[in-house]
Amino acid sequence: MHYTGTIWRPPYEATSLLLEVTAGCTHHKCKFCTLYNDLPFKFRMSPLEDVERDLQEAQLWSTDPIAMLTARLQGLPRPERLQRAFLTGANPFVLKYERLIAIAGFIQQYIPSIKTIGCFARITDVTLKSDEELAALHQAGYDGLTIGIETGDDAALQYMNKGYAAADIVKQCQRLDRAGIRYSFFYLVSISGEGRGEIGAKATADVCNQLHPIRIGVNMLTVYPESELYQEIQRGSWKEESEIEKYKEIRTLLENLTIPVQFAALGASNAFQFQGNLPEDQQDLITALNKIIETVKEDDLREYRKSLSHL
């Protein structure tokens, strides 16, 4: 299989076939982001011949004894059990409709047990597709996109150079809703900066409450020296929230969500990991957050953050 640089995937895609169709990010401008800094280029599409060759290799994992053994030693999933592919890269959904359809065709040809295809997507990737194309992509298996909306706070989206506004999130995800393509969100706690966490959380709840995300995954901002945001902090033009304020921000988000949705804080950026379904678990999650806010020391949480040499 061809893989380039660090491969990022959401925790819930652990059993999916990871297929490299892109590497890097077309946007590459968010001030806080260092995720694809290890690549010598900003964005690259994999040649379709490489994608096809990777699928041929994955197909062999169930028939060729040496390939089976190699796959087992590498902990790779058995192809006959594969039901889902996850296209790698920061935003493979940016690819042209025809290319996404061609990739779905190869997947169907070589591993027909795969029924759905997911990937990371930017809001601006959805804008590029017509309603008819979105519906046809859903028919071809595209479902369960993961979108790092980060926040519904327009001031933060603009400051961090996300390249879209809260109204765009609502408009484009409503188009996904109509096409039948489901999606999960990542929310970035502290993106609104010191003293503005609760404003950001309320604005994000307002956006989410108009939509139908499967899940909202919470990540906490962890600023690395290679990021533009780090330079802004050094210049004194932006301040991060305290660690306790981050937990208050999550609590405000939870208190203001009125939609049924899975809610999870599972990545390494979260010192305390938790998950539940709303509305059933809403109060229990808020109670757990209250306990953290009242009993855990800021210094201990700060030490945890400092210990994260990478995400």
CA 186 to CA 191: how far, in whole Å? 12
Among 30, 94, 95, 121, binds ligand SF4 (CB under 6 A): 30
Alpha helices (H) in 79-225, listed in sequence order? 97-110, 123-127, 131-139, 154-159, 166-179, 197-208
Judge whether 92 and 122 are in contact, CB under 8 Å. Answer: no
Q: Smaller CB distance to ligand SF4: residue 36 or 263?
A: 36
Among 17, 19, 23, 25, binds ligand SF4 (CB under 6 A): 25
Considering only the stretches 20-28, 40-48, 108-116, 172-180, report the one whose residues sit in contact with ligand SF4 under the rule CB under 6 A: 20-28
Nearer to ligand SF4, 36 or 247 (CB): 36
Least Å distance, CB 307 to ligand SF4, is: 22
Among positions 132-151, residues that touch ligand SF4 (CB under 6 A) are: 148
Beta pairing class for 116-121 and 84-88: parallel
Per-residue x/- marks for ligand SF4, 283-302, CB under 6 A?
--------------------
Judged by beta carbon, residue 79 or residue 92, the one nearer ligand SF4 is 92
Under rule CB under 6 A, how many of the chain's residues touch ligand SF4? 11
- Residue (293 or 311) nearer to ligand SF4, CB: 311
- Per-residue string for binding with ligand SF4, 87-106, x by CB under 6 A? ---x----------------
User: What would the x/- binding string for ligand SF4 be over residues 103 to 132, using CB under 6 A?
Assistant: -------------------x----------
Interatomic CA distance for residues 198 and 192, integer angstroms:
9
Alpha-carbon distance of 153 to 122, in angstroms, equals 16
18, 21, 33, 107: which one binds ligand SF4 (CB under 6 A): 33
Nearer to ligand SF4 by Cβ, of 25 and 104: the residue is 25
Q: Does 28 bind ligand SF4 (CB under 6 A)?
A: yes
Please report how close the Cβ of residue 1 comes to ligand SF4 at its closest, in angstroms. Answer: 22
CA-CA-CA-CA torsion sign (43, 48, 53, 56): positive
In the bound complex, what is the minimum distance in angstroms from residue 31's beta carbon to ligand SF4?
Answer: 9
CB of 275 to ligand SF4, least distance (A): 22
Backbone phi, then psi, for 242, in 5-degree steps?
-70, 165
Nearer to ligand SF4, 107 or 218 (CB): 218
**Which of helix, strand or coil describes residue 248?**
helix
Smallest separation (angstroms) from ligand SF4 to the CB of 36: 6
Amino acid occupying residue 93 = F
- Asked if omega into 279 is within 30° of 0 (cis), the reply is yes
Q: Measure Cα distances from 74 to 67, 69, 70, 228 in Å.
A: 10, 9, 6, 36
Question: Which H/E stretch holds residue 186?
Answer: strand 183-189
DSSP letters, 249-283, are HHHHHHHH--S-EEEEE-STT-SS-EEEEETTTHH
Which residue, among 11, 160, 209, has the nearest Cα to 201 in the 3D structure? 209
The pair phi, psi for residue 142, each rounded to 5°, is -70, 120
Amino acid in the structure at residue 110: Y
Q: Which residue shows structure tokens 């001031």? A: 155
- Using the rule CB under 6 A, give the single segment among 23-31, 50-58, 102-110, 170-178 that binds ligand SF4: 23-31
Minimum distance between the CB of residue 191 and ligand SF4, rounded to whole angstroms?
10
Binding site for ligand SF4 (CB under 6 A): 25, 27-30, 33, 35-36, 90, 122, 148
